[in-house]
Structure 1
């Protein structure tokens, strides 16, 4: 990060007319203040000079852009088959995402000191990476791990937001995440179109998706549809018993 800051100038388009409070780095650009302080005001995405990393979805091309991202153990390592370092990947996706109106976020944050603060963010490359990574996890993580990872994501985000990176809890959660990423390897093809990151195909050598098991057809596959009847009876037994007892108490 230090080498990047020394080698690159990060200019901000600030003048008296659009003097928003801005915070810009290679990952994102934030806009706060002025008319944005009132949550009732729509951000001026189409106003000349407001957006810096891209365009609004309305001004994005009518033709979609396809891009394929390769992940190794959860880490993006290549775009469209070309190996790249992390910085180059973010810069490349920032350009592609920005051109297609990707990565705009309008949120009211809950700050550490207790106040609420409204901010508008531009994170084109980040949104592509996050959504692509999540798509890959849908076929490489088992249900329990995938669901539990989402539960701790909010706590992890709070720790980072509150400046508690160097804490035992953050380190413990990071160890959990590292463990979950051992099989998150593969390619994710996405379609970028007018602010949307659309799934266009996922492949992984560690996929847990089996078409034979997932098939809805009765073709003698691994899933015997007759097994569903017994499962439903057992799975719903507690609900059935409660309903019967409630009905009995109402009658008596």
Structure 2
């Protein structure tokens, strides 16, 4: 019996290749594990398990990590309104870290000789998986067949066909990663700097027309209800909102970013619920937080998102920033109204008992009841005093 290896398995092209290659060509005893971060139905998970056994794994484990994924990562991305390069909601970046942590734990549980993943040598995932494994299970051998053999998708398909593997190879032409916080889509159109994914490549087809209003109810920064329907856990609210907004084609885009390994990368994604939630949450924050709360949140959240994207979820500074982000949400409670339309949405307003835009203190551009005109005259003289001194001194010295 060969060495025992734990393989992070999704049932797609890359990990299917890994099973066949590791078992039949390398003689390993493969134990596959799929960590569901919101991308699979129960039926799909069952089919993936059956597929794994047909490929030849010794055992297969399914982990439901949806709620823990939200609790440990996604809620902080919402608190911080995190969008990579002001575009991408870190859909795959975040879920890979959750998956890597569960895979490492399982490898330790089985006393495995090695751990394996199906990442290529040209993307971010290889760094995220490798780094988590190095930290959580130091010294264990990390096997990466796709990266080490430098395989193209066409070569993988050819290999699996030769092995008699039956799967949807036409679908495998696109790399699709679906999770609670969005779906990424990679294919030939994203390999160059120009080109858009064809309609059939998007996992969610556009079937909705017209428009509808939805009410998102937040409590201390977390989405608790939609149209007054209360959910037991925010992850359920996210999935429900995705079912409403996804068919409008909302949240489709192409992200171009800097990879961890230094090259530029381009990927398509659809993230209807994340985009609506982030914009709605940010709109509510602009009403209930002070300008310096918003200022520092923006700075810390940008660092948090970038560091998370680069796989550094275990850095203790992340816990420090999460502490600030969570504290900042104590008054982020209220309802946000959003109008959904094909391919777009608009936040139309908020209602909150913590709203600082309160007519008791004045109406912007019309009337202020908090201070007098004379107060403003004195304030502006003091507020600009140092700059006045600078220019007077500069003028004297320029003569």
Please report the TM-score for the alignment, with normalisation by the length of structure 1. Answer: 0.85
Q: Which protein is bigger by CA-based radius of gyration?
A: 2
Offset of residue 60 of structure 1: 6.0
Aligned to 2:190: 36
Tell whether the 8 Å contact from 1:54 to 1:95 is kept in structure 2 after alignment.
no
Deviations 1:81-102 (A, max 9, x none): 0101333312221122222221
Structure 1 unaligned residues grouped into runs of 5+: none
Offset of residue 201 of structure 1: 2.1
Alpha-carbon distance between aligned partners in 2 of 1:177 and 1:3, rounded to the nearest angstrom: 23
Q: Secondary structure at the match of 1:205?
A: coil
Cα distance change on mapping 1:15 and 1:2 into 2, 3 Å: closer
Does 2:158 correspond to 1:7? no
Tell whether the 8 Å contact from 1:54 to 1:97 is kept in structure 2 after alignment.
no
Deviations 1:72-115 (A, max 9, x none): 11111110001013333122211222222211232212111212
Tell whether the 8 Å contact from 2:37 to 2:179 is kept in structure 1 after alignment.
no
Cα distance change on mapping 1:121 and 1:3 into 2, 3 Å: closer
Tell whether the 8 Å contact from 1:53 to 1:94 is kept in structure 2 after alignment.
no
Tell whether the 8 Å contact from 2:185 to 2:202 is kept in structure 1 after alignment.
no
Offset of residue 15 of structure 1: 5.4
Aligned to 1:70: 217
After TM superposition, the structure 1 stretch with the greater mean CA deviation from structure 2, 65-74 or 160-169, is: 160-169
Does 2:390 correspond to 1:242? yes
Aligned to 1:51: 202
Tell whether the 8 Å contact from 2:213 to 2:338 is kept in structure 1 after alignment.
yes
Offset of residue 54 of structure 1: 4.3
Does 2:262 correspond to 1:114? yes
Tell whether the 8 Å contact from 1:53 to 1:124 is kept in structure 2 after alignment.
no
Tell whether the 8 Å contact from 1:53 to 1:95 is kept in structure 2 after alignment.
no
Tell whether the 8 Å contact from 2:37 to 2:180 is kept in structure 1 after alignment.
no
Deviations 1:115-165 (A, max 9, x none): 211111110011111111111111221111111101111111122112221
* Greater helix fraction, Structure 1 or Structure 2: 2
1:142-157, aligned counterparts within 5 Å?
142-157=290-305
Structure 2 unaligned residues grouped into runs of 5+: 1-34, 48-167
Alpha-carbon distance between aligned partners in 1 of 2:376 and 2:169, rounded to the nearest angstrom: 65
1:92-107, aligned counterparts within 5 Å?
92-107=240-255
Offset of residue 53 of structure 1: 2.4
Alpha-carbon distance between aligned partners in 1 of 2:305 and 2:319, rounded to the nearest angstrom: 13
Aligned to 2:235: 87
Aligned to 1:179: 327
Tell whether the 8 Å contact from 1:18 to 1:50 is kept in structure 2 after alignment.
no
1:134-173, aligned counterparts within 5 Å?
134-173=282-321
